Structure formats: structure tokens, C-alpha cells
Structure 1
């Protein structure tokens, strides 16, 4: 009898996050689930890893299984590394990260702990998906996400992914009946116009809160931002190879011997 797929589940909002609990419940329908997630929120950690301090893992039970669960003291990328090297007895067939509380579309993918966990799996040649819901609240309703999460994960399990490619999936904060479907997209060209809110603590020391406005400079109708605005689930294939291949030819015309 063939083994059920081994599914590694992680996130960046922490092991108790409602989005993660929803993702676990869906993955339990598809295979054997092992959860390795941060023991506290690690949002916007990007691809940070722990090298100057120790890491701890603790097996625990939050919801009834059948999944096995481990809380890790490190970052989302740490969770994947320690799962693959220390916890799992075989390579996972897929790694899913999320469901994130908030958007990871467009430029947000750069800062995302959710997507960095998925990309870490991709580096290990494990098919991986990062899921995010466009609702930042802890009490977000993830019920309408489950059908899309299951469908996309089933497709990856059946078809695989190109080596080095990871899927960045964002889900509108709409009811299931209002979501029109799924669009495969490119990442929109956008950024944050940032500023710091400067304040002073009771001891007279200045401190700062980072704030900003999201600016979408891309008018294309093939982007993740467009799809989400039109009430579609967006899928963007991303990669960890950051080489700007189109620039190599130009750079080779420069005189570096001057």
C-alpha cells in the first residue's frame, strides 16, 4: 500500500495562529502532516536564519491530530531547515506555508516570512506553496480559503513544480461566492512609500514606528494586484535565483579593466 504524501506545514504568524490551524485541517485531508512552526510571531522576517544563538524545538499538541506538531524558537526559514534535517524521517512531498494573516502580493514577497519558508523548501527541491489571505486581523475568517488551498495543493502534489519554483498564492478577503476563480499572474511592480512615525518614551528617548503607503505602479491586467482587485485568487510562480539575466549582456560591454 502506497504511503500517503508527507506534508510539511509551517508559517510566520506562529504555531497558534488561526490561519495555520486552518491550513493544517485542509492538509490532513491530503496526507500525513507534520507541523514545524515558530513558537511566536515572526512576520516580515524575510529569509533570516539563526546563526548566533541556539535553536529549540518542542513537540506539542494544540488541536487533535493526526498531525504531529513542533514549535521552533527560530524563524520560518529555520523551521524548514530543522524539519528537513532533524525531525522528518523522509523528505516531504510538499511544503505549505501560511495561511498568512495579510497580503504577500507584489513587493511584499521580499519581506515575507511566509514565503521565505516556502522558498527555503524550494531550495531543498521540495515543491512548496505560500498561502496568504488579504486580512491582517487575528480573528480573520479563513473558511472561504479552504477550497482554493486544497485545489492548489492537490495540483502541486499531482503535477509537481519546476525545480526552483515556488507558488505565491494570495486570496481576496471575500466570501467564497464572490471570488471569481484563480488567475496565474506575474508580480506587480509596486513598492512602499515609507516614513517613520517618531515619538518619545516617558524617559525622553526617541523611538520610531515604520509606516507607509502601498503604491502600485503597474497598470497591467496580468498582475497579482490586478487579479486580487478583480476578486480572483492570484498565483505567482517565484524563484530564489535572483540573477537579472537580462542585464548580463549589457554588463559584459563595460570596461572593467580601465
Structure 2
């Protein structure tokens, strides 16, 4: 990116090209009239793919019309979408920043890592794939509560994140943006009345998951059904378990959440529940390096000052 040129931001996600979180983020970014907006996202919701990639067969990309942006829906995983989008095989230029989201559901604590095998980690995986390729990236999630949150909250969440995105682009243009981490942002339920930005560390909040053996009676009932539906407590999408081919000789187990554990330290989950927009530097599979956290400690307050001056 040369000085004076508009920066390019690529949007991806895990919930699919039609997800309200992605559409809201694109709409708000386009409305700023400051960026070239690219979108490379799954053509449908991709549950449980985590950071998996497609290797053995080609993936397809279809042009989609979204005003103000160049958009493709891709048949691959979230990691595939990011990798394809920054490869120059799909877009003529590589984005200056990749933003993954906005996810319907928070990504905090150890749950972020455990979800590598489940669903929420897919949003973080989109940003992590860019990080693996030395492209600055951000993952954004909204602490969605069924019956309380609405699709308009995605618009508010996107607007609340614009000052951070703007500030990151400024640092990228100056070539002073920190290396060695990417940002994970969680927006609280009451986004309209959030308390501001809070630099946090990845905590230890965690939903313990176990297994319960299904009784023979339940197993018999399950075989009569086309599929059994189970719901991960932290995701909006159901996980289908096909039981039609299970014989009586097999043992059948169902995954369940046994216990929720949350730490009370100054961490992402704690401050998110208090109403802050949490900003957490992350590395590959662990907390970000100490110097990354020190960098953002001085940098984040300036974002609020810049936003209030607009």
C-alpha cells in the first residue's frame, strides 16, 4: 500500500456469505468510503471445520453482488477462504488487513482453544490464517444472547469496531504495526451502551464437555429418526449426528456440557461480561508475546481519543 492510496480490507467469516454479522461489517466499512472492501467467505455456514483446509479437491468461488464491495462465496472452509483471498489467485491485490466476523457468539478464554474442535474457533481461524501468512488481522465476535440480541446489534458492533480498524490501518501505513500477534475483539451484549475498549488477556474461562452413554431404549428411538439433533451450548448452529446406521452392537454416546468455569482475573471474559469491548492480542495457539501486550497498552487509549475527535 502506497501512501495516499486507499487501504484494502478483506472480510471473511465462518457463518457464511449471507450471515448478518458479515453483511453488517461490510455495510459499515463501505459506508465509511475509506477502504477498498474485498469479501471472501464460505458459501454456507461451516460448523466444526475449525482451521481445517481443503487439499484433495478444488474449491469453487462464485461472484456475489454486495454494493460497494468485491465479493466471492467459496465452497471451502474459513481457513480456505482467507488463504484464497490473500493469494492473488482471486483478487488482484493482497489486502492490507483481514477482518474475520462478526461472529454470532463470543470467543473468550480457553473456550477459544477448545472450540478448535467445535464451532466458534472458526471465526478466529479466519484471522489466524492471515496471521500465518504475515497479514495483519482481526477477529470480531458479538456476545449474542438468544431472545435479547437482534440483527441491528451487528451494525452497532461493526460501528464500534471501526475506530480500532481505522487505527490499525494508520499503523500499517506507517509500517509501525506490531508483528507477532493478531487481535481478537469481543463486543458485549449491550453494545449500544458499551463501556469502551479494554485491553485484556486470554483468560481461563472454559465449558467442560463430557459424554453420556445413551440407553438402549434411546438408541432404538434414535435409529427410527433420520437424524438426532444436538446443540452446542455456545453456538447458534446445531450439530447433526446421523444415527440411522447404528447397530445394537454399537455403544452410543452423546456429548454434553457438564460444567462452566470462569476465572475472575482481569481477563477477556470478565471484562466482556462487565460491558467492555475486549481487545485481546493472540498468537498461534497461545497468549500473545509480552511485547505485543505492552504495545497495545499504550496504543489502545489513543483509539478512543481519535474516535472522540471525529
Question: TM-score under structure 2 normalisation?
Answer: 0.71
Q: Which residue of 2 aligns with 1:59?
A: 63
CA drift of 1:143 comes to 3.0
Moved over 6 A (4+): none
What are the ranges of 5 or more consecutive residues in structure 2 without an aligned counterpart? 225-243, 290-310
Query: Does 2:49 align with 1:39?
Result: no
- 2:90 is aligned, of 77, 82, 87, to 87
Query: Does 2:158 align with 1:146?
Result: yes
Query: Does 2:231 align with 1:228?
Result: no
RMSD across aligned positions (CA): 2.5
Q: Which residue of 1 aligns with 2:124?
A: 115
Q: What is the alpha-carbon distance in structure 2 between the residues aligned to residue 208 and residue 57 of structure 1?
A: 37
Q: What is the alpha-carbon distance in structure 1 between the residues aligned to residue 253 and residue 29 of structure 2?
A: 40
Query: Does 2:223 align with 1:219?
Result: no
Q: What is the alpha-carbon distance in structure 1 between the residues aligned to residue 287 and residue 264 of structure 2?
A: 25
- 1:165 is aligned, of 162, 168, 181, to 181
CA contact (8 A) 1:103 1:170 kept: yes
Q: What is the alpha-carbon distance in structure 1 between the residues aligned to residue 81 and residue 63 of structure 2?
A: 13
Q: What is the alpha-carbon distance in structure 2 between the residues aligned to residue 98 and residue 214 of structure 1?
A: 27
CA contact (8 A) 2:202 2:287 kept: no
Q: What is the alpha-carbon distance in structure 2 between the residues aligned to residue 103 and residue 20 of structure 1?
A: 15
Q: What is the alpha-carbon distance in structure 2 between the residues aligned to residue 215 and residue 12 of structure 1?
A: 24
Q: What is the alpha-carbon distance in structure 1 between the residues aligned to residue 198 and residue 287 of structure 2?
A: 26
CA drift of 1:242 comes to 5.2
Q: What is the alpha-carbon distance in structure 1 between the residues aligned to residue 166 and residue 54 of structure 2?
A: 32
Query: Does 2:204 align with 1:192?
Result: no
CA displacement 1:171-195 (0-9 Å, x = unmatched): 1111412x11110000011322113
- 1:71 is aligned, of 73, 83, 87, to 73
CA change 1:227–1:244 in 2 (3 A) is closer
Q: Which residue of 2 aligns with 1:127?
A: 136
CA drift of 1:217 comes to 4.3
CA drift of 1:3 comes to 2.2
CA drift of 1:230 comes to 0.8
Q: What is the alpha-carbon distance in structure 2 between the residues aligned to residue 243 and residue 22 of structure 1?
A: 29
CA contact (8 A) 2:43 2:73 kept: yes
Q: What is the alpha-carbon distance in structure 1 between the residues aligned to residue 208 and residue 261 of structure 2?
A: 10
Count of aligned pairs: 241
